[in-house]
Amino acid sequence: MIRTISVDREPWESADATRLRAAQRAELDDRYGNDDHEPGEPPTGETVSVFLVARDADGTALGCGGLRFLGDREAEVKRMYVDPSARGTGVATAILRALEDAARAAGVRTLLLETGTAQPDAMRFYEREGYRRIPNFGVYQGEPLSVCYARDLP
């Protein structure tokens, strides 16, 4: 079932953005069995220039995602998350497409992202959406739990 949703920019610090990111962290902590599974500096409102929240027709926040600009016409997808109740309904695809549109508008040519070995569902999603697996980049180099992807934006 595809829901009618909107995906719009929202402040990093908004209540729903904060709640969604906390839910993502809790899910990942559970999957990895600890809270030490993200290499590098955690993203912040200062380092994630674009943050989007998806909402249903009633205004309920269903998911989120952001962009951290890396320079050289590249950006990294950060904090991509969809509430379990909305998975499989098109929400993740809508967020990803909105992030790609925002990246294109900012002159980004390549989107990069990192997910993890305990997230096979995320790996399947990104591959289905046209992302290709690449060698781990940046702070993810040499990290055994990290799996990295890229997509050139047309």
Total domains in the chain come to: 1
Report the C-alpha gap between 143 and 19 in whole angstroms.
28
Q: 101 lies in which domain range?
A: 5-152
What is the mean pLDDT of the segment spanning 85-92?
94
Cβ 3 vs Cβ 55: under 8 Å: no
pTM above threshold 0.75: yes
Single out the residue of 136, 154, 132 nearest to residue 146, CA to CA: 136
**CATH at residue 14:** 3.40.630.30
Q: How confident is the model at residue 26 (pLDDT cuts 50, 70, 90)?
A: very high
Output the pLDDT for position 3: 62
> For residues 118 and 41, what is the distance between their CA atoms, to the nearest angstrom?
20
CA distance 81 to 87: 10
Confidence at residue 122, expressed as pLDDT on a 0 to 100 scale:
96
Mean predicted confidence (pLDDT) in 113-127: 96
Of the listed ranges 2-6, 11-15, 64-68, 123-127, the one predicted with least confidence:
2-6
